[in-house]
Amino acid sequence: MGAAAIDLLYWRNVKQSGAVFSSVLLLLFSLTQFSVVSVGAYLALAALSASISFRIYKSVLQAVQKTDEGHPFKAYLEMEIALSQDQISKYADKILLYSNTCMKELRRLFLVQDLVDSLKFAVLMWLLTYVGALFNGLTLLILAVVSMFTLPVVYEKHQAQIDQYVGLIRTQVNSVVGKIQAKIPGAKRKEE
C-alpha cells in the first residue's frame, strides 16, 4: 500500500481523510437507496452542472472585465490522459499473477491437498453463509470502509493492549487446533 493511502487511513491529514471517508460513505449509502445507474447519472449531472456553471461564470467575468483568459479548463483539455501500453501490460500481469495464485489455492482447498486447510476453508464458508443471511454485499462493503478508516487509528493508540489480547486468543486457538488435529486421523501437518 502506498504512503498516501496509509496517511489517508491513519488520518494524518484530517481534512483529506474526512473528505475521502465521507465521500465514499455517501456513495455507498446512496447505492443502498438507488441503483448504480441512478447514482452514476446523478454524480455525472452534479459534475456537469458544476463545470458548466463555472464555465459560464468565467465567461461572464471575462466579458465584464474585458479580458481574454480563454477557456477556464484549457490546461485540463490539453492534458494527456491515455494509458500507455506499459501501464496496461503491468496491470494485466498483476491481475494474471493474482488470478493464477487464487486458482491454485482454490484447487488445493477443494481437492483436499491438506485436510486441515480444507476443513478451515469449509468452516469459513459455513460461517459466511450466516454472514450472507444477515448482511448484503453493500452493507459488508460499508462496514469494511468504516473499519478501514477506524481500526488502524484504534490499533495505533491501543497497540499494547490489543497485542496482548490477540496473543492470548492465538494461544487458545492453537491449543484447540492442536487437540483437534491430534484426534482426527491424517489431520496432523507434516513437519516442514
H runs (alpha helix) in 66-158: 74-77, 85-110, 115-134, 137-157
Name the pLDDT band for 187 (thresholds 50, 70, 90).
low
pLDDT at position 192? 42
Q: What does pTM read for this prediction?
A: 0.63
Which pLDDT tens digit goes with each residue over 71-128?
888 888 888 888 889 999 999 999 999 999 999 999 999 999 988 889 999 999 999 9
Q: Residue 145 is which amino acid?
A: V
- What average pLDDT does range 142-159 have in this prediction? 93
Judge contact between 87 and 65, C-beta under 8 A. Answer: no
pLDDT at position 190? 52
Residue for grid cell 462493503: 141
Which pLDDT tens digit goes with each residue over 43-79?
999 999 999 999 999 888 888 888 888 888 888 888 8
pLDDT at position 135? 86
